Amino acid sequence: MHRSRIFSSSSEPRFWWHRRSGSDYVPPIYSCLTDDEWQLLQEWYAETSKRDWAGECAVPLMSLLQGLIMGNMIRRIVQLGTFAGYSALLLGFFLRQMEARHGLFSLEIGNTLSEYTRSWLIRAGLVDFVKIEHRSSLDPASPGLATEYLRGRPELIVVDSSHEYEATIRELEAWYPVLTPGGLIVLHDTSNFAVSFDATHAGGVARALKEWRNKHPGAEAFSLNAGIDVMEPPPPVYQDACGVGLIQKPLDKEGGTSEPLRRAG
């Protein structure tokens, strides 16, 4: 099976993982796809390259998400930041394999990107599994709309949106209360290297996670590759120099989960 091995010969920055030593295999995020799904993803790559819309996450983060979701039967996911739809498509493919309809609610502030991703979801036959909402993650109505679509509190929230310190702090404060007890928040770009992604130059996701963690000592939280300052050479073990953070909400006092949160009205 060749599939993603073809990316090793590309000089595009988006395919950095495929050029690294030891990557001459097809990772499970791609090998688990049907032939039709892989063909569609190849077409998505080709079109977004022409549009210069490369900015999606790479194999390490998607592999982590696949393991969390498919290894733990996670069926209610919120994504803050859709961009051009790479992760929405892949997460949709995973959810379809699990027969988890209404499984992903993804928020994107850009109308053009929202419409673009919707068009690909239609082509992929994933409209029963993924909803793209053209709305800010900080809109007070967003958490209620998400829980209504998912038919319960999210079990996993993926934060990969503005990369700005203040916006990320506000997202954590807005969405952590909505998360089901025991649920997880995954934050991309938590390393020192990724601090430069903050257009406001205020410290990025790394500062936001650190300060939020200090204010919420009851939550389990850590960051992989937090101290990485440069893209090359690749960091050991977890290969993404951008880093990833993980927060887990404690279980309730009875050790179970609370009732689903419903949108008022």
Report residue 29 as tokens.
Answer: 């995020």
Q: What is the pLDDT of residues 173-192, one digit of tens each?
A: 999 999 999 999 999 999 99
CA–CA distance, 105 with 76 (Å, rounded to integer): 8
- Stretch 97-122: mean pLDDT: 97
As a whole number of Å, the CA-based R_g of the chain is 18
CA–CA distance, 228 with 257 (Å, rounded to integer): 36
Indicate the SS3 state at residue 137: coil
Does the pLDDT value for residue 256 go beyond 60?
no
Residue 95 pLDDT grade (very low, low, confident, very high; cuts 50, 70, 90): very high
What single-letter DSSP state applies at residue 53?
-
pTM for this one?
A: 0.93
CA–CA distance, 83 with 112 (Å, rounded to integer): 10
E strands within the chain?
77-80, 104-108, 130-134, 156-159, 184-188, 220-224, 244-248
- Stretch 102-116: mean pLDDT: 97
Residue 261 pLDDT grade (very low, low, confident, very high; cuts 50, 70, 90): very low
Mean pLDDT of the chain: 94
pLDDT confidence of residue 150: 98
From the list 120, 182, 112, 107, the residue with the least C-alpha distance to 147 is 107
**CB neighbourhood size of 23 (10 A):** 18
pLDDT confidence of residue 253: 59
In order, the DSSP letters of 167-178 are: HHHHHHHHHGGG
User: Which residue in this structure is represented by tokens 């053209």?
Assistant: 134
Q: What is the pLDDT of residues 127-166, one digit of tens each?
A: 999 999 999 999 999 999 999 999 999 999 999 999 999 9
Does the pLDDT value for residue 207 go beyond 80?
yes
pLDDT confidence of residue 265: 28
pLDDT confidence of residue 234: 84
Answer whether 82's CB lies under 8 Å from 96's CB: no
152: left (phi over 0), alpha (psi -120 to 50) or beta: left
From the list 105, 117, 95, 91, the residue with the least C-alpha distance to 144 is 105
DSSP helix, strand, coil percent of the chain (3-state; round to 5): 45, 10, 45
Angle (CA) 47-83-45 rounded to 5° is 25
